[in-house]
Amino acid sequence: MTAADVATTSQNVANGSELALDLRNVHSYYGHIHALKGVSLTVRHGEIVTLIGANGAGKTTTLRTISGIVHPQQGEVRLNGQRIDHVPPHRIVEMGVCQSPEGRRIFPRMTVLENLEMGAFARRDSEALRREDLERVLTLFPRLRERLKQKGGTLSGGEQQMLAIGRALMSQPKVLLLDEPSMGLAPNLVETIFETVVAINRAGVAVLLVEQNALMALNVAARGYVLETGRIVLEDEAKALQQNEKVQKAYLGIE
Ligand SMILES: Nc1ncnc2c1ncn2[C@@H]1O[C@H](COP(=O)(O)OP(=O)(O)OP(=O)(O)O)[C@@H](O)[C@H]1O
Ligand SMILES: [Mg+2]
């Protein structure tokens, strides 16, 4: 699959106008630190949207505000049109939003299988359906299948990243929030992770993708936002952002 195929696909999937996520003028704080200063962004059903920005820009905070780990002091977060900005995190997971956290926080002492089962904790459906999803995740990441009984902490960095994404998928998300899924991975694995993101999206999951690897992110996304010190400074179609001089200079390393 080429980058062009990938981009076309995600744009095709990004149909209707119905919004999966809708953030309006969101302000989030850590104590006195004003981390998000009026962030507005949307993700349509079935769309991949990327959020790019430098270290400390507020990317992770944006995802945490959507997941309910941080409650905004001002502004609104909507999921399928419904306010979720003061809903507790476990309820938001039940509503179909799942975040795969930065730095692959898996459970190191649990086996790969146990880690994946933890991802399904909020589900109230049958064991059989969970088995089906487990099968799907293991088909997506064959490496995990070979290591089901191995302790999470003994996996390589790339395998832990696959496990973190796999675990997020076990919650059957409608919206997947990915925080730097390619961080620290070898180039061939980065490719695999991005292809997986596209495959997940094709299965009907909307994705908000936070990435330092802006080039790859803009290749798979339909649209993108650029965040600088808590503010969205640019938003556009991913293709247009790739051509944008400021983006090229600051995030794509093109002079
Ligand atoms: N738990 C916290 N307590 C206090 N300040 C925090 C906390 N977490 C983040 N911040 C601050 O909020 C701002 C945004 O941080 P955030 O983690 O969202 O950035 P980021 O864009 O994800 O950066 P990176 O690319 O380094 O992951 C930063 O200035 C950071 O220092
Ligand atoms: Mg971050």
- Whether the Cβ atoms of residue 58 and residue 230 lie closer than 8 Å to each other: yes
Task: Show me where the domains of the chain are located.
Answer: 3-96+174-251, 104-172
Q: Which helix (H) or strand (E) holds 100?
A: strand 97-100
**Range in 12-21, 39-48, 121-130, 185-194 with the lowest mean pLDDT:** 12-21
Q: Which atom of ligand 1 is nearest to the CA of 33?
A: 5
In the chain, what percentage of residues exceed pLDDT 90? Answer: 67
Strands of the sheet with 33-44, listed across from one edge: 33-44, 19-30, 74-79, 82-83
Q: What's the mean per-residue pLDDT of the chain?
A: 89
Within 8 A by CB and 6+ apart from 103, the residues are 180, 183
The first and second tokens of residue 238, run together, are: 């991913």
pLDDT for 92 equals: 94
Query: Nearest ligand, CA of residue 62?
Result: 1
CATH number for the domain formed by residue range(s) 3-96+174-251: 3.40.50.300
| More confident call, 253 vs 40 | 40
Burial letters 19-44, b for 16+ CB under 10 A, else e: bbbbbbebbbbeeeeebbbebebbbb
- Asked whether the predicted pLDDT for residue 20 surpasses 70, the reply is yes
Query: Nearest ligand, CA of residue 101?
Result: 2
- Asked if residue 65 has its Cβ within 6 Å of ligand 1, the reply is no
Rounded distance between C-alpha atoms, residue 63 and residue 7, angstroms: 23
Rounded distance between C-alpha atoms, residue 13 and residue 9, angstroms: 6
Q: Sign of dihedral through CA atoms 39, 22, 41, 60?
A: positive
| More confident call, 171 vs 224 | 224
pLDDT for 221 equals: 97
pLDDT for 123 equals: 76
pLDDT for 121 equals: 79
For ligand 1, atom 31, which residue shows the shortest CA distance? 56
Query: What confidence tier does 219 reach under pLDDT thresholds 50, 70, 90?
Result: very high
- Asked if residue 60 has its Cβ within 6 Å of ligand 1, the reply is yes
Query: How many Cβ atoms sit within 10 Å of the Cβ of residue 58?
Result: 25
pTM: 0.89
pLDDT for 42 equals: 98
pLDDT tens-digit profile of 44-66?
999 999 999 999 999 999 999 99
End-to-end CA distance of the chain: 28
Q: Which atom of ligand 1 is nearest to the CA of 212?
A: 25
Query: What confidence tier does 85 reach under pLDDT thresholds 50, 70, 90?
Result: very high
Ligand 1 centroid to residue 61 C-alpha, Å: 6
Ligand 1 centroid to residue 46 C-alpha, Å: 28
- Asked if residue 55 has its Cβ within 6 Å of ligand 1, the reply is yes
Query: What confidence tier does 119 reach under pLDDT thresholds 50, 70, 90?
Result: confident
